[in-house]
Amino acid sequence: MAARLSRRKITSYLAEQMVAGTPVGQLVLQLAAYLIETKRTSEVGLIVRDIEYELSSRGIVLAQVTSALDLTTATEAAVTKLIKDTTGASKVNLRKFIDPEVLGGVKIDLPGLQLDTTIARRLTTLRTNYKK
Amino acid sequence: MNLLPVTQFAAAEESSGDLMSTLGIDWATLIFQIVAFLILLFLLKKFVYPWLMKSVDERQADIEAASHAATEAQAAAADAEDRVAKLLKKARGDAADIVATAKLESAAALDASEQKAQRRADQLVADAQAEISKEVLAAKKALYNETLDLVTTATANIVGKVVTKEVDVSLINDAIKAVK
């Protein structure tokens, strides 16, 4: 049976392997096998989040971008530049999601940071701030 | 007819020594009767009169005592009547005082109860007004919030249809500029 490693060690190892260029698919398989073996599959969400943190500390940022409509190339470049300027990252990976519920604008989720400029968010703010 | 007694009286004066005999009185019998009478008198005085006098005295004492008792009873009755009259007078006075006091107390109680009822009514009215004000305020607030929800929902529905790709790009670019 595999030794029980701390989540910090696991995420640090995986982040290093990703930076070193190890195929992500292979790393995912290793992680899945290890979590199943040690019966820690419930920690997968936390591990993914920690990996994102580890990568961001190494200059690689995984950003989740949500918008109502598909982003244009120029907009995508502007978002990437914004993320680099904000986090100081050397590489930015965007995961784009289309959600009509946000109505307009963009929501950017970074490890430990969120920028929400969507119309849905503004309406929610309006509703909560002015509600008596 | 009238000459006979005068004649007899004259004859009696002539023979006074035989007067007693003429009258039919016998000295011995007379003395005997006198002695018997004296003895009878003695016996009566010795045995009968004291008893009779005693009975009479007792009867008189009883009568006097009864009379005295009747007088006392009459006096007592008169005294009792006076006292009853005084008591009645005092009782009437007391009753009048009690009635007057009761009237005053009942008037005071009535006044106090009216004041209490008035205060209670005022309090109820004030509470009702406060409750109504509170409910009006709550209704206004609910209406405001519902209006806000309605406005935001309507805005979301309209904006969802109005936003085009160009508008969306413009929004994103504006947001990025604002962040920078």
B145 touching A, CB under 8 A?
A: yes
pLDDT at A1: 64
pLDDT at B157: 81
Cα–Cα distance, A77 to B170 (Å, whole number): 14
- Residue B167's φ and ψ, nearest 5 degrees, are -65, -40
Give yes or no for a contact between A65 and A79, defined as CB atoms under 8 angstroms apart.
yes
- Which pTM value belongs to this model? 0.54
The pLDDT-based confidence of B115 (bands split at 50, 70, 90) is: very high
- Which run of H or E residues covers position A67? strand A60-67
**Residue A27: burial class (beta carbons within 10 Å; 0-12, 13-18, 19+):** middle
Buried b (16+ CB within 10 A) or exposed e, B60-76: eeeeeeeeeeeeeeeee
The pLDDT-based confidence of B43 (bands split at 50, 70, 90) is: very high
The pLDDT-based confidence of B6 (bands split at 50, 70, 90) is: very low
Nearest to B141 among A78, A124, A132 (CB): A132
Nearest to A69 among B144, B149, B168 (CB): B168
Give yes or no for a contact between B168 and A79, defined as CB atoms under 8 angstroms apart.
no
Interface of A with B in 84-103 (CB under 8 A): 85-86, 100, 103
Q: What is the ipTM of this complex?
A: 0.73
Helix A7-20 and helix A44-57, axial crossing angle in degrees, nearest 10: 50
Ordered by start, the domain boundaries in chain B are: 3-179
